Structure 1
Amino acid sequence: MGLFQEFSESTSMHGLQRAVSSESKWKRPLWAALVLAGACLATFNLSKTIKDFLHNPTTTETSVHYSPDMEFPVVTICNLNPFSYGKLTGEMDFMAVIKNLVENGFTEEDDIFEYMAQFQRSRDVAITYSLKDLLIECQFDMMPCSADDFLTVPNYKYGDCFVFNKQIPENFTHSNPRYTTKPGPDNGLIMKLDVQQMQYLYTTEDAGFKIVVHSQDTTAFPEDEGFLVMPGTRTNVGLKRTEMSRAPPPYSTCIGLADEYNVDMNVYSLTDGTRYSGEACRKTCYIREVVRQCGCCDILFVCPSEIYNTYEVNETNPYCNATNTDQFFCKKRVLNAFEKGELDCLGRCLPPCEEVVYDVALSTALWPSENWVFVPPGTSMQDAKNIINYYRENMLRVAIYFEDLTEKHVESRPSYDWNRVLSDIGGQLGLWLGFSILTAMEWLELAYDAGIRAGTRKSQGAQAAKVHVQQQGQ
């Protein structure tokens, strides 16, 4: 008790000295009660502070910046009809093929598309649309553009899609990304398109185009994202660019990957050099599972050698054969499991920590007006009506542009780091107990002195016992 008495008289901790050393009979218990109450309140508030810290809370900060030279996004467009009826019937007896497929149990639309894709790959024939068939007029930033400014990329659902403003890295050569310095519908990408409904297959339910607006370093998946534009309309697509930065784990469930390739999570990094995205990861998960279970690649997706080098796959022809019943139903089983979430692709494929997204605002008007359509002089009323009907059923106009040249930055960051935790702990202890770091050192010194004193007493007791034993032996 003497050591604690000495400590209480010299410590910088307020109240303890009065609780131990006060000579007044009523002041000593009062100060002891106050010190005990302060200790209880400090402990309660400290437990809340530690609990908040362990929950890894974040703070989201939004800021808007003006950018006088804005990089235009990548635009991917796809005709909702994947194969041109005229080109298809020029290469095969389409109806006979469909009848044969149905008789053999290939009844779904995707089954037919898969067979067509295999037919196109094996025969090396062009049965999809060319952009020159579809693009009537093109303008970017008030300057003319053409089909040569677009890349053609295959898509399992829409045949061939066409990509504007995409820069291909490394050994590929293409135009540099384009920029715009003025907002408004006249200064973006303006396209006049012809859907060519007369070439639609009976399996295609909707008429129009699917459009995806995305950043340079990501791959578009129009089957899962984007918006539709339909014939007979003019559609204005106003864009706003947003840069998102999520706090890394454990503060959020995101994946932070650098620009370099990551084949395990994103097989598309091998084909077009794009960074990780949640959808690219989920597609990679499915692609790998088909190879693992079926011993072949889904013909509707990419299949670089890196994804099947650990399995027994025919490298000469690694794709599944649409007419091979075993491979077809194996792939079908994997696809059903993927769509039901049974492959755990959703749990593995978290959103990226850094991401650029484009908010889209659509406005639509009937296009063209009847008086705008040019009808040659001398045209009969019926022919004039047919011309207008063709425009309404097949033609569309779409303008994709920035609404303004501002970028929104959304950043989430840890709201409770070690500096704040230590400050809160110090604040609670200082408020209720007058406690500081130096006071903590004093308590450590007390523990050290108490340990030394206990050790000394134990040593002295052992020495005394030894002497006592020796005296009894004599």
Structure 2
Amino acid sequence: MKIGVMDKTGAQMVEKEDKKHNDEDSCSEKDIWTNFTQTTGFHGLNKITFERQNPRQLIRSICWIIVWLTCAVFLIYTVIVELKNYYSYPTISNTYIQLEEKLSFPAVTICNMSPRSSEGMKKDVKTNNLYMTTSALYMFSQKINWTDPFYKEEGYFEEKTKEDIFNHSKNISESVFLSLFDNVQLKDAFSPVYTDMGLCLRFNSDGSQYTAMYGAIFNLQLYVNVMTYFDYFSHSLSSGVKIAVHDHREEPIMTNEGLVIKPASEAFIEIRRKDYKFLPAPFTAFGNKTCVNKPDYSSSKCYQACWNDIIQHKCGCTDFLSKGNGPYCSYHDYQTCSNPTFWHLLLTYHKETCDCPKVCQYTTYDYSFSTGTYPSEFFVSQISAISGFPEWLIRTNFALIRIYFKDLSITINEQVAKYENTGDIFANLGGQLGLFLGASILTITELLEFIIFLIWSFIHRVKNRGRDEQRKTHVEKFKQTKY
């Protein structure tokens, strides 16, 4: 009888312990929520209490839940947009002027508008027609019959050499008969260069010339003899010289670039330097493309090498204009293959013929251009007496070209990252957190702590569920026991 009473008392104690555990679990979750809402840095959560016995407080809690969730949704949306923007590597452009004590002078390429010389050239009908086919009057030329023995006898099927180009061009060493840089006479400052316009001269091809002076009486002065008396069939119908001012690392396409100075004129070319600095990959430049960040890379030289490869593959020879390694094309190959191919490539210059992305850092030169008659009637006789050149030659063929800096400043267009480091994105996200929820990184830590406590409470409840079932079974056994 005592044993039965004791068992009954034990069952009651087990039931009380189960109820105690359940109350502790329930109380624990409520306490976690209450403690979080009353102490967290999140604004508005302390207004959410869920007191069902107080209808006004319940309505207030529901309103605050709606407001808080709306702000949370806007915050999440803003964070996603901000992160997407960050990983798109956005940039901004800065433009500023930088003053220098001295500047490197640009390279200057000088080409005659009629580079081929008529001196020593046969003037028969077939020869004239042959050169007319690749000139500005090509539409008026007759179709060439290459089976005619004349062309083979004259060597038009033989491989060309650089010596042939020199012999058939105007004497470039005499075309610039006097040059000054900062009022000091230059010697051996020019080098011959092959361009799409033929044999030309280039000043400062290595970029070694610097100047601390500026203005029309300083920098580069060129006294040029255009040699119109040796003009022959060419791509242009004009007489004069073409001037391209460019960075020494670039290779200009003279057909498309430069200024034309006519004979008997004095040209004033005032230049201003502009530097462009773009960011390499993963940032984008020039629209949605990336640039090449290599000091020895040049987009124009890349195109030139690519075109040469195309011409060599298609024609089996190299055009000397493309700076290939030979064998050089004969005049027959030049006229029937390499020249048409080159002009086709020039027309498709901006298409995807060659993969030659832009360089990340490069320099250009803006210019203003004005001319006057050179020389004046008074100075014709004076110059003739000093130089020994006849007056007719001075009046009809001479030109003076002045190329000079406006000042010693550089206009720099620089692309910079919108986010310089991860601290910038954290600052933006922190601002959004504060705007929508009045939160900070520490507040986020409080939220994580709250979630951890909830998870721990849930795990604790699951673990105790099996123990509770065992206790209930034990109690039922006590109740069913008959003494």
Q: TM-score, normalised by structure 1?
A: 0.75
Offset of residue 127 of structure 1 = 1.9
Question: Which residue identity lines up with residue 90 of structure 2 in the other structure?
Answer: P
Picking from 155, 167, 179, the partner of 1:126 is 167
In the alignment, which residue of structure 2 is the partner of 1:289?
310
Contact 2:263 2:397 in 1 (8 A): yes
Say yes or no: does 1:399 pair with 2:402. yes
Task: Give the Å deviation of 1:390.
Answer: 4.2
Q: CA contact under 8 A between 2:114 and 2:233: conserved in structure 1? A: no
Contact 1:370–1:388, Cα closer than 8 Å, also in 2: no
Q: CA RMSD in A?
A: 3.8
The answer on 1:29 being equivalent to 2:29 is no
With over 3 angstroms needed to count, the CA separation of the structure-2 counterparts of 1:455 and 1:291, relative to structure 1, is: farther
Aligned to 1:267: none
Q: Which moved more, 1:289-298 or 1:128-137?
A: 289-298
- Correspondence list, 1:374-413, <5 A: 374=381, 390-413=393-416
Partner of residue 447, structure 1: 451
CA contact (8 A) 1:289 1:334 kept: no
- 2:117 paired with 1:96: no
Matched, 1:318 2:327: yes
The one-letter code sitting in structure 1 at the alignment partner of 2:62 is P
Cα 1:56–1:133 shift into 2, 3 Å = same
2:221 to 190, 203, 206: 190
State the partner residue of 1:57. 90
- Report the alpha carbon displacement of residue 213 of structure 1 after superposing the two structures with TM: 1.4
Corresponding letter in the other structure for 1:196: M
Is this contact kept in 2: 1:78–1:161, CA < 8 A? yes
In the alignment, what sits opposite 1:232? 264
Given the alignment of the two structures, is residue 366 of structure 1 paired with residue 407 of structure 2, yes or no? no
Contact 2:160–2:328 (CA under 8 A) maintained in structure 1: no
Q: Equivalent of 2:324, from 299, 303, 307?
A: 303
CA contact (8 A) 1:81 1:200 kept: yes
| Secondary structure, counterpart of 1:411 in structure 2 | strand
SS at match of 2:249: coil
Match of 1:344 in 2: 352
Deviation at 1:212, TM superposition (A): 1.5
Q: Which residue matches 1:256? A: 292
Secondary structure in 2 matching 1:85? coil
Change (3 A) 1:450 1:371: same
Matches of 1:94 and 1:463 in 2, distance apart?
117
Q: Deviations over 1:171-190 (max 9, x none)?
A: xxxxx822222211111111
Confirm or deny: 8 A CA contact 2:264 2:374 kept in the other structure.
yes
The structure-2 alpha-carbon separation of the partners of 1:293 and 1:135, relative to structure 1 and needing over 3 Å to count, comes to closer
Amino acid at match of 2:127: V
Deviations 1:57-96, CA, capped at 9 Å, x for gaps: 3222222222222222221111111211104x1xx66753
For residues 318-362 of structure 1, what are the alpha-carbon distances to aligned partners after superposition, in whole Å with 9 as ceiling and x for unaligned?
A: 34444359x94487457526633696146x323211112221111
Please tell me whether residue 151 in structure 1 is matched to residue 158 in structure 2.
no
CA contact (8 A) 1:281 1:349 kept: yes
Partner residue of 2:363? Answer: 356
Q: Distance in 1 between matches of 2:218 and 2:350?
A: 46
Alignment partners' CA distance in 2, 1:388 and 1:330: 42
Of residues 158, 170, 180 in structure 2, which corresponds to 1:139? 180
Q: Tell me if the contact between 2:305 and 2:322 (Cα under 8 Å) persists in the aligned partners.
A: no
On the 8 A contact 2:252/2:300 being kept in 1, the answer is no
Q: CA deviation at 1:205?
A: 1.0
CA 123–210 in structure 1, closer or farther in 2 if over 3 Å, else same: closer
Q: Percent identity?
A: 23
| Corresponding residue of 1:66 | 99
- The residue number in structure 2 matching 1:382 is none
Q: Mind listing any 5+ residue stretches in structure 1 that lack a counterpart?
A: 107-114, 168-175, 260-274, 305-316, 378-385, 470-474
Larger Rg: 2
